[in-house]
A and B are shown apart, each in its own frame.
Chain A
Amino acid sequence: QQQVKQSPQSLIVQKGGISIINCAYENTAFDYFPWYQQFPGKGPALLIAIRPDVSEKKEGRFTISFNKSAKQFSLHIMDSQPGDSATYFCAARLNQAGTALIFGKGTTLSVSS
């Protein structure tokens, strides 16, 4: 119930292509779904986040699609660039104050030039 399942584990996309990473959850008490980008040796950095009352959120080249009934959400990276090569984590948080994020296992994205 506390897990967030992320796929694929790794992804190779050509420059200019669309990268899609998927996550699924079981616990309907989750109310916040962020995506993080992490480069080697660095802490994760918040990329974009969504709440369950919204089906889509777009920020620049990054879009989150959220399907509440299916309990799934995905990250789309449009016009993928070599600089996007990193590990991406989806996460979820319960609707309780002061609770920690639960992370997916991560997706290593490589964008080939």
Chain B
Amino acid sequence: GAVVSQHPSWVICKSGTSVKIECRSLDFQATTMFWYRQFPKQSLMLMATSNEGSKATYEQGVEKDKFLINHASLTLSTLTVTSAHPEDSSFYICSAPETEAFFGQGTRLTVV
């Protein structure tokens, strides 16, 4: 069946640097991609919705200049955490709305 592939699965970066997370839809075209953040032992919180060819829609309280989302094609959406800080350390997960089974494997970001 269709799959969303997320990369990398984990990343460690230094404070102040930027990190890019990729989410690819395999075998189907995703016009929309959701990006969630999950802190340890907490639930998934929607950060933003990316739409192919247009600007992403961010949830209240999410800094759009810090979390850059690009959806340049129907198979790729990216999340870039700019000037990362330790408080950005979290589990980031993407999903496509075509069917809710399509969650990425998640990316564990650790900022040191």
Residues of A within 8 A of B104 (CB): 43
Kindly supply a per-residue 1/0 record for chain B positions 30-65, scoring 1 wherever the CB is within 8 Å of any chain A CB and 0 otherwise.
001010000001111110010000000000000000
B111 interface residue (CB < 8 Å to A): no
B103 interface contact, C-beta 8 A: yes
B43 contacts which of A41, A42, A97, A103 (Cβ < 8 Å)? A103
* Residues of chain B contacted by A97 (CB below 8 angstroms): 97
A49 at the interface (CB under 8 A from B): yes
Question: Please, how many angstroms separate the alpha-carbon atoms of A108 and B45 in the complex?
Answer: 17
A99, B106: Cβ atoms under 8 Å? no
Among candidates A42, A89, A99, residue contacting B44 with C-beta atoms closer than 8 Å: A89
Q: Chain A contacts of B32 at CB under 8 A?
A: 98
Interface of B (DSSP majority class): strand
C-alpha spacing A95/B46, complex, angstroms: 17
B112 within 8 Å of A by Cβ?
no
Q: Quick check: is B6 within 8 A (CB to CB) of the other chain?
A: yes
A100 to B93, CA, bound (A): 13
Interface centre among A32, A100, A104 (most CB of B within 10 A): A100
Is B100 within 8 A of A34, CB to CB? Answer: yes
Cβ contacts under 8 Å, A45 to chain B:
101, 103
Nearest-neighbor residue (CB-CB) of A97 within chain B: B97
A46 interface residue per 8 A CB criterion:
yes
In the complex, whether B105 has a CB less than 8 A from a CB of chain A is: yes
